[in-house]
Amino acid sequence: MICSSCGKTNTDGDTFCEFCGANLLSGSKPNVGPAVARPTPAQPPPPSAAEMAQMGKSLLGSLTLGEKFVGAGTIAAVLGFFFPWISSPDLGPLSGVLGQLGASELNHVSLSGVDLGKFVGAVYLILLTAIASGVLFYFSRRATSPQKLLMGGFLVMIGSLCGPAIIVLLLFVPLVQTVAGAGLWLLGLGFCSIAAGGLVTIGALGKTAR
pLDDT for residue 105: 45
The C-alpha atoms of residue 129 and residue 190 are separated, in whole angstroms, by: 11
pLDDT for residue 152: 93
Residue among 59, 66, 60, 65 nearest 151 (CA): 66
How does residue 77 score in pLDDT terms, banded at 50, 70 and 90? very high
Q: Which residues, in sequence order, are CB contacts of 61 under 8 Å at separation 6+? A: none
Burial label, 133 (beta-carbon count in 10 A; 0-12, 13-18, 19+): buried
At what angle are helices 145-172 and 65-82 packed, to 10 degrees?
50
Burial label, 137 (beta-carbon count in 10 A; 0-12, 13-18, 19+): buried
Q: Compare 104 and 11 and report the one with higher pLDDT.
A: 11
- Write the pLDDT tens digit of every residue in 93-116: 555 555 555 544 444 567 889 988
- Confidence (pTM): 0.68
DSSP H/E element including 87:
strand 84-87
The C-alpha atoms of residue 145 and residue 152 are separated, in whole angstroms, by: 10
DSSP H/E element including 112:
strand 110-112
Instruction: Tally DSSP H helices, then E strands, for the chain.
Output: 8, 2
Is residue 159 within 8 A of residue 69, CB to CB? The reply is: no
The C-alpha atoms of residue 69 and residue 199 are separated, in whole angstroms, by: 10
Residues comprising the chain, all counted: 210
Average pLDDT of the residues in 187-205: 93
Least confident range of 56-65, 85-94, 145-154, 180-189: 85-94
- Write the pLDDT tens digit of every residue in 34-75: 555 566 666 777 877 777 777 877 878 888 899 999 999 999
